[in-house]
Chain A
C-alpha cells in the first residue's frame, strides 16, 4: 500500500458506503439571480475602462481603423524602444506592419522562438510586450489570455510595459458568463490568465505599490465601433 492508497482509503472509510456524486451546488442559479440587467456593449466598454483605469492601467478606446496608428503614436510617446510581439495574430501583424512602415524608433522583436533561446534578452532588454486578449470581463475590469503558440505566456508578464488589445465585442458582463459562453471547461489552454492591471503589492505596511514582479505599466487598447477614429 502506498501513500495514495492509504490516503484514499482513509477518506473513503469516513464516508457512507453509498456515496455517489451528490447534486452539484447551484452556481448557475446564483449568477442568474444575482446578475444585473444585461448591459449594452457600450456599457461594458465603459465599465471595463473605468475599472482598469482605477487599477492604474492606461486605456485607449479606438475604432477598428484607427487603433493601430493611435497606438503607434502612444508607444513613441512612452519612449518604447524594443517591443516584443507575435505576428501570428491579425492585430500583431497589423501593428508590426505599421511600426515598420513608420520611421519611428521602435525595434520589433518577434516572439517566434522558444524562450530558452533568448530568455536573458527578454528579461533585460525588452521594454514592452504586445498581446491580444481572448476576451474580457467588465464586472472586475479583467482581460483574459489563453496561452497558445501565438500567445506565449511571458509576453504579458516579463516586459515592464504590457500592451494589450481587446475587441469590444468580446467583453463579457462577469466571470461566470465568460466561462459559460466561451466554454472554458471544455478546452482549457495550458495557461489561462486573467489580468486586472499592472502588477502590484501591499506587502510592505499595507501600502499599495505598483510594479512588483510583473509589468509595472499596462496599456489597454479597446477596439470598438464607437471608439475614437484618429
Chain B
C-alpha cells in the first residue's frame, strides 16, 4: 500500500512565477491536447443541460439573488448556523487563517488519538494544505475522491476544482497505478482502473479514525451541511468513521433549505452537465440515540483566510457569490490553453484569478488578474452572475495603485505591480490630452521624431511590429482637408 504520500513535499509553485510557467505550459502540446478535449467535453455537457435559454436565465437570476441575499446577511447567518448546528450536536470552530484551521483540525485529531484521516473532496482543505500539515505531524491523510487520489498518488496538486486529475490521460493513470499500487497490472480500461481505486481505498474507510470533507452549501435555519458528489466516497467519509470534520469557507452559508434547491441545480448542471449528481448528502448532526451508524462526533471548521477582505469591499464582495462549479474555467480561453497548474494557486482559472489575491495577497498573485483577454466568457456562463471581468480590472487597478495611497479598503499587497515609470507615462499622457497647447507640442515632436521610436516596446513587440507615430497627425490632416475645401 503506497498511499502514504504526505511526507513527500507536494509539487507546489509559488504563484509569483506565473509568466514562466505559462510559457512552459503553452509549449507542452500533450497537456494542451488533454485540456482542449476535456474543455470541449464539459462545455458540451453543460449546454445540453440548459436547452431552454429562458429557464437558464431565470434560474441564474434566482441563484444570484440567493447568493446576494446570503452575503448581505452573512454575519447573522453565520451566527444562526452556529446556533443551529450546536443545538444539533455539531461542534463549530472558527479559523481566521489557514494555520489556525490546520491547528484546530490537528487538535481534534490528537484529542481522538487519530492516526489516519480519510478525505472526501475538499478544496478548502487543499487551500490550507492540510495533508502536509497533518503528515508532518504523523497523521496520514488519504484522498478518496478518484481524481484527488490520482493526484495525491502522483504527488501533484489538482488542476481543476471539480475534476482534479483532468490533466491526466487514462494512459498516465494506468502507468501511475501500475507503478504505485503493489500487484497492479498495467491497464487502460477505465472500469478496471476505477475498480483498482475502489479496492485499494475500501479498507481505509473502515480503518480511518476521522473522515474529513468539504461542504457545498450550509443551511442556517436547520443547521445542515449539504454535500454534492457522485462517487459515494463523500458519504463514506462522513458516515463510517467515528469522527467527521467538515471544513468550509465562511461564504457558503444560505438562510433556508429551499434556497439551496436552485443553487444545487445550477451547480451540477454547470459543473458536469448533470441534472443531479448521484448523491446529495445533507448532514444535520451526529448519530442520535437509537441510531445504529453515523459519526458520534461532527465538527465544522469555518474558514476566513482572506475572504473577509473581499467582503469588506462592496464591489469585490461579488467574488464570494461563487458556488465553485468550475464553468468559468471550462469556458476560459486562457485556462483551456494553460491548464490549471500554471496558475500556481489552488483555485485556477477565472475564479482563481479573482479569489486568490484575497487568500494570498497581491504580492504573490499580481500577474493573475492580467491573464485574461477580458472576453467575458466566464461571466456569460457563471450561474450566479459574478461580473468576473469587472473584478479582474478592479484587481489590476489595485495592483497598480501606489502602495502609499490611502484607500477605504486596502487590499493585501496593494501596489504589487506599481511602477513609477509607468505612472509617469500615464500622467504625461493624461496631461497632454487635457491641455491643447501641450498636445500641439507633443504632436509636433512625435511626428518629427518618429524615426526615433524605440524598436523594443515591451510586451507589444514580442509578437508584433513596433508602433511608430504617423508622418502627419490627424489634426494636421483634418486641418488641411478643411483648408482645401474652402
**Chain A residues close to B by CB (< 8 Å):** 2-4, 6-8, 10-15, 19, 21-22, 24-28, 30-31, 34, 51, 55, 111-115, 119-120, 123, 139-142, 147-149, 152-154, 157-158, 175-176, 179-180, 184-185, 188-207, 209-215
Contact = CB atoms under 8 A, between A and B. Distances in A.
B442 interface: no
Contacts of A142: 276, 280
Most buried by B among A3, A31, A114: A3
Contacts of A198: 278
Nearest to B293: A115
B388 interface: no
Interface of B: 37-38, 41-42, 55, 58-59, 62, 65-66, 69, 72-76, 78-79, 88, 94-96, 100, 144-147, 150, 163-166, 168-170, 173, 190-191, 193-195, 197-198, 201-203, 205-206, 219, 221-224, 230-233, 235-236, 239-240, 250, 255-259, 261-262, 264-265, 272, 275-288, 290-294, 302, 304, 308, 311-314, 317
B286 A190 contact: yes
Given A147-B294, A180-B258, A185-B257, A215 B232 contact: yes
Nearest to A187: B222
Contacts of B224: 188
Contacts of A157: 232, 235-236, 239
A191 B292 CA distance: 12
Nearest to B202: A123
Contacts of B58: 30, 34
A25 B58 CA distance: 13
Contact of B194 (A25, A176, A212, A215): A212
A188 B166 CA distance: 36
Nearest to B239: A153
Most buried by B among A25, A114, A175, A209: A25
A157 B235 CA distance: 8
Contacts of A215: 232
Given A152-B291, A188-B222, A205-B168, A30 B257 contact: no
14 contacts: A3-B96, A7-B308, A22-B73, A25-B69, A25-B259, A115-B240, A119-B240, A141-B276, A192-B282, A194-B282, A203-B163, A206-B42, A212-B198, A212-B232
A2 B82 CA distance: 15
B190 A207 contact: yes
A197 B291 CA distance: 25
Contact of A212 (B38, B230, B276, B287): B230
Nearest to B240: A154
Contacts of B62: 25-27, 30
A12 B72 CA distance: 10
Question: Top 8 A-B pairs ranked by shortest CB distance?
Answer: A214-B232, A212-B231, A203-B147, A25-B65, A199-B232, A115-B293, A203-B146, A194-B280
